[in-house]
């Protein structure tokens, strides 16, 4: 199981490509960019290769501090290890509202 907490930003170079973790301002300005985590945990079926499995990866960014990112990573890892993790729904709010609410009176 691999995991990491890292800092990155959305700055772009002269060609329009994002610097990401290699932004020069990240080394000089402690407030530049946001913190993120990456967790590789378990396996799942590979949709591109039927019958094969691939590592499950979880990423989340936008944390203001390294401590917040580390705390979220620890909580995610604990929920995965105990089996309490639930996959986020991909159902849109409008579709969910239409399916669960009675129409008319």
Q: Is residue 55 part of a domain?
A: yes
Q: How confident is the model at residue 104 (pLDDT cuts 50, 70, 90)?
A: low
Residue-level length of the chain:
105
Q: Look at residue 70 in the predicted model and tell me its pLDDT.
A: 96
Q: Is residue 105 part of a domain?
A: no
Give the pLDDT confidence of 6-65 residue by residue, as tens digits.
998 889 999 999 988 888 898 898 889 999 999 999 888 988 999 999 999 999 999 999
Q: How confident is the model at residue 77 (pLDDT cuts 50, 70, 90)?
A: very high
Q: Is residue 80 part of a domain?
A: yes
Domain residues for the domain of 85 are: 2-100
Q: Is residue 60 part of a domain?
A: yes
Q: How confident is the model at residue 68 (pLDDT cuts 50, 70, 90)?
A: very high
**Total number of domains constituting the chain:** 1
**CB neighbour burial string for 74-102, b if at least 16 within 10 angstroms, e if fewer:** eebbeebeeeebeeeeeeeeeeeeeeeee
């Amino acid at each position: 199981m691999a995991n990491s907490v890292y800092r990155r930003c959305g700055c772009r170079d002269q060609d329009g490509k994002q610097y990401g973790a290699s932004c020069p301002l990240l080394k000089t300005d402690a407030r530049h960019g946001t913190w993120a985590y990456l967790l590789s945990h378990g396996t799942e079926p590979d949709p591109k290769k039927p019958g094969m499995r691939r590592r499950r990866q979880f990423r989340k960014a936008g944390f203001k501090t390294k401590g917040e990112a580390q705390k979220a990573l620890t909580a995610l890892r604990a929920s995965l290890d105990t089996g309490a993790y639930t996959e986020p729904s991909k159902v849109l709010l409008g579709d969910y509202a239409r399916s669960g609410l009675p129409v008319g009176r």
